[in-house]
């Protein structure tokens, strides 16, 4: 991505103007966004921009970001600039490709001097999200468990903030912490499970600590509940929750924000071997709670449960969030349009919805009914619970309730990004920017 380079007259020019109605018009080699409503609908705008960029992914583009910041009058120009730069960066040809003739297009972002600081800050923020999206797109033979750990340790110093610290829990550490669920999921893998802890405590004036727990299934074949071939596609992206959390922590540290956030990335692969977990197995979590395996393909909640237990044991967490590609039901219900979430706190729900309006993420708040927890707690006759319920109705709600049962923190929220994580349609790592804004807004109070 280039900034304020000489304008290529053959490149597609994208700009904004004030208008009487919301519209997108294309004339010759120019696309004009016109918005009548102020502040703009960022969720609608992000989808329209994605569609436009996908349609022109093989073209050079000149994007007049200054015209957008001037005409849209959004609540936060920095948020709009971050959304735009994150979207644009996804079309610069930096993603994984071994094609002999990969698509290469140049993107030139232009703006007046008055927007220099805003654009610089937005670009610094979006860099973390770009890294996360890059990891999300790598095949598992290029980014396994050990590869991801190595990459994180290498990249974290680039944030330029010693307050961002990395701790790696190896297999020996997982055994010491009695994280039996994470180990169980990974039993069929040819490399040991691990967990990455990203600690960023940079607000000594506050006792609050936010925990972001991201599902890090580097590949999910379903284990002995093997997935049909069509569901195997993009299973390398089953670690998007972990990538999203990484992007958020990196951006917060790079911008030196005064927040206290700890990220937990449990990493595993759900593969098949004579060691793999099978139906009827019972394993013990880091909290001491026992779990019967009734669905080897419901593995994400298992590794998250162990990470939640570790987080509550080692930190005084005040709010805990899980971000995961967890259930197919969420994708069926909401497609790639919105991320459903379940929260035990109305106040946290309101803060999430405020952050989502600025980040352009579609979110839908759902109730965490007490009956969900009842279903979870009576789901097994031989263990404290099972990793699935007899009734498959609202399997995404009972999955959220399963995770809540392992959380000692009363303020718990779960995001199911099973639909919104899809890279091909909307290539922005889901919820990274929203959770970034949530943290900043929370610690401003």
* Catalytically active residues, by annotation: 227, 301
Strand partners, 414: 322, 342
Q: Residue 26 has which token pair? A: 């294309």
Alpha-carbon gap, residue 366 to 400, rounded angstroms: 10
How far is Cα 166 from Cα 263, in angstroms, rounded to an integer? 10
In the numeric block, the tokens 């583009």 are attached to 61
Q: What residues have CB less than 8 Å from 277, skipping those under 6 apart?
A: 184, 185, 187, 188, 223, 224, 283, 293, 296
Task: Compute the half-sphere exposure of residue 113: CA atoms within 13 Å on the CB side of its CA.
Answer: 0
Distances in Å between the alpha carbon of 135 and those of 132, 192, 332? Answer: 5, 19, 25
For residue 394, CA distances in Å to 103, 328, 389, 391 come to 42, 11, 10, 8
Tokens of 93: 């040809």
Q: How far apart are CA 321 and CA 434, in angstroms?
A: 12
CA atoms within 13 A on the CB side of 24: 14
Q: Which tokens in the block code for residue 155?
A: 């990249």
Three-class SS of residue 227?
coil
* Residues forming beta bridges with residue 291, ordered by sequence position: 283, 385
Confirm if 198 and 439 have CB atoms less than 8 A apart.
no
- Residue of 317, 305, 332 whose CA lies nearest to 411: 317
The C-alpha atoms of residue 429 and residue 243 are separated, in whole angstroms, by 8
- For every residue of 195-224, DSSP letters joined together read EEEEEEE--TT----EEEEE-EEEEE--TT
Distances (CA, A) of 392 to 25, 170, 309, 399: 46, 35, 26, 10
Peptide bond into 39 cis (omega under 30): yes
DSSP code, position 154:
H
């Amino acid at each position: 991505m280039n900034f304020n380079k000489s304008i290529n007259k053959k490149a597609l020019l994208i700009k904004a103007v004030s208008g009487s109605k919301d519209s997108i018009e294309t004339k010759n080699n120019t696309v004009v966004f016109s918005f009548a409503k102020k502040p703009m609908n960022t969720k609608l705008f992000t989808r329209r921009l994605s569609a436009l960029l996908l349609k022109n992914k093989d073209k050079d583009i000149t994007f007049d970001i200054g015209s957008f910041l001037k005409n849209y009058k959004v609540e936060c120009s920095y948020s709009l600039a971050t959304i735009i730069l994150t979207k644009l960066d996804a079309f610069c040809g930096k993603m994984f490709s071994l094609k002999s003739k990969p698509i290469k297009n140049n993107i030139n972002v232009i703006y007046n001097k008055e927007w220099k600081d805003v654009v610089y800050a937005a670009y610094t923020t979006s860099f973390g999200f770009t890294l996360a999206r890059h990891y999300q797109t790598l095949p598992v033979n290029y980014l396994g468990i050990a590869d991801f750990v190595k990459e994180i340790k290498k990249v974290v110093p680039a944030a330029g903030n010693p307050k961002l610290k990395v701790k790696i829990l190896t297999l020996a550490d997982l055994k010491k912490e009695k994280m039996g669920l994470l180990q169980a999921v990974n039993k069929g893998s040819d490399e040991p499970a691990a967990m990455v802890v990203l600690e960023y405590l940079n607000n000594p004036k506050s006792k609050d600590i936010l925990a972001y727990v991201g599902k890090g299934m580097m590949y999910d074949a379903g284990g002995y509940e093997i997935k049909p071939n069509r569901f195997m596609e993009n299973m390398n992206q089953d670690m998007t929750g972990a990538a999203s959390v990484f992007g958020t922590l990196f951006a917060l540290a790079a911008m030196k924000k005064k927040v206290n956030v700890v990220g937990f990335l449990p990493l595993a692969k759900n593969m098949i071997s004579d060691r793999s977990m099978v139906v009827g197995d019972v394993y013990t979590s880091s909290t001491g709670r026992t779990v019967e395996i009734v669905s080897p393909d419901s593995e994400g909640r298992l590794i998250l449960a162990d990470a939640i237990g570790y987080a509550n044991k080692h930190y005084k967490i005040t709010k805990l969030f899980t971000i995961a590609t967890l259930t197919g039901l969420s994708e069926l219900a909401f497609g790639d349009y919105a991320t459903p979430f379940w929260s035990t706190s109305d106040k946290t729900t309101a803060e999430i919805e405020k952050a989502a309006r600025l980040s352009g993420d579609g979110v839908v708040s759902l109730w965490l009914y007490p009956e969900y927890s009842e279903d979870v707690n009576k789901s097994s006759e031989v263990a404290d619970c099972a990793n699935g319920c007899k009734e498959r109705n609202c399997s995404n709600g009972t999955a959220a309730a399963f995770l809540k049962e392992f959380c000692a923190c009363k303020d718990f929220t779960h995001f199911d990004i099973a639909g919104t994580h899809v890279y091909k349609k909307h290539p922005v790592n889901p919820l990274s920017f929203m959770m970034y804004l949530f943290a900043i807004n929370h610690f401003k109070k």
